[in-house]
Amino acid sequence: MPTTPGESAVAGAARHGRGVFRSRDVRSRDNQGTVRRPRRALGSAVAHAPQVLRALVRADEVWLLVLAAGIGVAAGIAVWLINGAAQLFHQTLFGISSEQRLSAMDRLNPMATVLVPCLGGLALGLITLGIARIYTRRAVDPIEANALFGGRMSLTGSLVVVLQTITFNGVGVSIGLEAA
What is the full DSSP assignment across 7-47? Answer: --HHHHHHHHSS-PPPTT---EE-TT--EEPPPPPHHHHHH
Q: Over the stretch 130-149, which tens digit does the pLDDT of each residue have?
A: 878 887 777 777 788 888 88
Tell me which residue of 91, 142, 80, 89 sits closest to 120, measured CA to CA. 89
Q: Over the stretch 88-127, which tens digit does the pLDDT of each residue have?
A: 988 888 888 888 888 777 788 888 888 998 998 898 888 8
Whole-Å CA distances, 171 to 44, 74, 167: 40, 26, 6
pLDDT at 12: 44
Q: Over the stretch 41-62, which tens digit does the pLDDT of each residue have?
A: 777 777 788 888 888 888 888 8
The pLDDT > 70 percentage for the chain reads: 74
Cα dihedral value 93, 96, 97, 100, nearest 10:
-120
